Amino acid sequence: MSILIYLILGLLTSLLFPPYFFLPLGFIIFPFLCLLLGSNKKNNSDLNIFKNFSFFGFGFFISYLFWVKNPFFVFEETKNFFLVFLLLIILLSIILSLVCTIIFKLGKKIPIIFLIPFMFTISEYIIAVFFYGFPWFTFSLIVSSNESLLFSLKFFGTLISSYLIIQIFCLPFILITKVKLKKEIGYFAFFILLPIIFLIISNFNSKNNNLNSNSIDLEIFQLNFKNNDKSLTPEKKLNTIIDNIQKSSADMLIFGENNFPYLLDDLDLKILKDSLKENQELIIGATRFDKNKYYNSLINITQSKVIYFDKIILVPFGEFLPLRDSLTFLESIVGPNNYTNGKEERIINLPNKISFIPVICYEIVFYWKILNKLNYKSNFIINITNDFWFGKYIGPYQHLYLTKIRAAEFNKPIIRVSNNGISAVIDNNGKIIKNTELNNIEKFKHKLFLQENINFVNEHIILKIYFFIIFLIVTFYYLRKNV
């Protein structure tokens, strides 16, 4: 009976996330989890905790990541492999249950209202970095539909925001059980408010948060090329791209991931250069072939130069096949060749001391791998993608909202251009200024005013250490108290 309860709780938890955002459910799910785990805390065996959270994880991930099966249905030859997506669901469920079991065992003397947020936050972190990493799962996504709540990402970053969200959801448990935790809640509020006050003061005192005189006229092109449309020849695609370029008067023209229909080794870019007007910048995604290696690239083109950025974080089983020699039977899914990781720095410099951060597809979810000491002060981010593989319902919306939280977290505007949608201009607070509809052919213009926005990404690292120390202090306090 308990495994059925945990399975249902996992399914319901997925409804807190995009595209649903049934947030009131959180104030039922997490207090109920506190009640289930806290009522018989000392007698819960490790095996029971592992089993229950395995089913919780399976219920959550099978609903949250159900779209992962969609890429298998794009081509006829891969349809029979669609059940492979269950391996990812099972793996993530096992990681979640293992982490929760270990933390529950070590923290049995800590009040359950503090322990549960820590269990889920550490699970989120381990899933993000384990092996290759899959940071698609983050509780900070829960506030991504509300721009007024996205300030938590700006000040705290992804991981601490996730902890705070779950902690708030757990608070009704105090009313249900009448547990006396007034002192603990007071201390908790103090330790939360302290860094908030510090960061807000730092933000107001900053002199680097002002508008510059510079602006860029952008035009975004969502071409909606179908990956499995055999009637749409490379020649037709190229003609569509050239036609849009010639009709545009914008300073910067941006197309989606892999919109350029030829290998760059096969066709000179002169035809694109000649289509551009003086001082225009063209950004388009393409597959680049160089020294017998394939790269998924973002190309920045002007009449006089071409700059490449090759995708660094590739998709396993999408852009490369791990252990290819042993898993040859999966080549029909991935193809006969692996893409190669790029080596270029993640920055593209433009005239007038303007620069942007290039991000390709799901690289945007790896929040700790995007900013570095070279691009920290870049003016904005351009994220090109092709969400055709993600289906029509859940996946593309999750990807969009993950991009929203990055804009708030990095305090930088993001220009998101997807081949099939959803393309959007997102400001540095995570607010969508303009957007297209999914699976439409659309284009729109936008004047981007450039800012030198400070961000607290380095402070987020300090805050992780700060909160970890606080948790160790709490753990030590309760261990001594219950001796």
Q: Answer whether residue 210 shows pLDDT above 60.
A: no
Of the candidate ranges 83-87, 111-115, 142-146, 476-480, the one whose mean pLDDT is the lowest: 476-480
Q: Answer whether residue 209 shows pLDDT above 60.
A: no
- 85 token code pair: 């997506």
Q: Answer whether residue 225 shows pLDDT above 60.
A: yes
Q: Could you tell me the domains of the chain?
A: 2-205+460-481 (no CATH), 212-453 (3.60.110.10)
Q: Answer whether residue 466 shows pLDDT above 70.
A: yes
pLDDT digits (tens, 9 = 90+) for 160-200: 999 989 999 998 988 887 666 666 666 666 666 777 676 66
pLDDT digits (tens, 9 = 90+) for 117-131: 999 999 999 999 987
* pLDDT at residue number 178: 67
* pLDDT at residue number 132: 83
The DSSP bridge partners found for residue 385 are: 418
Three-state DSSP state, 370? coil
Q: Give this prediction's pTM.
A: 0.91
Q: Answer whether residue 480 shows pLDDT above 60.
A: yes
* pLDDT at residue number 182: 66
Cis amide leading into 19 (omega within 30)? yes
Q: Answer whether residue 443 shows pLDDT above 70.
A: yes
* pLDDT at residue number 318: 78
Confidence at 439, pLDDT banded by 50, 70, 90 = very high
Of the candidate ranges 48-57, 331-340, 456-465, the one whose mean pLDDT is the lowest: 331-340
Three-state DSSP state, 216? strand
DSSP 384-430: EE-GGGGTTTTHHHHHHHHHHHHHHHHT--EEEEESSS--EEE-TTS
End-to-end CA distance of the chain: 34
* pLDDT at residue number 202: 62
* pLDDT at residue number 117: 93
Instruction: Provide mean pLDDT across the span 86-109.
Output: 92
* pLDDT at residue number 133: 87
Query: Which helix (H) or strand (E) segment is 298 a member of?
Result: strand 293-301
Of the candidate ranges 225-229, 289-293, 414-418, the one whose mean pLDDT is the lowest: 225-229
Rounded to whole angstroms, the Cα distance separating 282 from 301 reads: 5
- Mean pLDDT over all residues of the chain? 88
The DSSP bridge partners found for residue 300 are: 283, 307
For 173, counting Cβ atoms within 10 Å of its Cβ (0-12 exposed, 13-18 middle, 19+ buried), the class is buried
Pair 464, 228: CB distance under 8 Å:
no
Q: Answer whether residue 365 shows pLDDT above 70.
A: yes
Instruction: Provide mean pLDDT across the span 443-469.
Output: 85
Q: What percent of the chain has pLDDT over 90?
A: 59
Instruction: Calculate the alpha carbon distances from 31 to 38, 113, 158, 175 in Å.
Output: 10, 8, 23, 10
Rounded to whole angstroms, the Cα distance separating 386 from 418 reads: 5
Instruction: Provide mean pLDDT across the span 414-426.
Output: 96
Q: Answer whether residue 292 shows pLDDT above 80.
A: yes
- 402 token code pair: 């993950």
* pLDDT at residue number 212: 55
Q: Answer whether residue 379 shows pLDDT above 90.
A: yes
Q: Answer whether residue 30 shows pLDDT above 80.
A: yes
Confidence at 102, pLDDT banded by 50, 70, 90 = very high
Confidence at 267, pLDDT banded by 50, 70, 90 = low
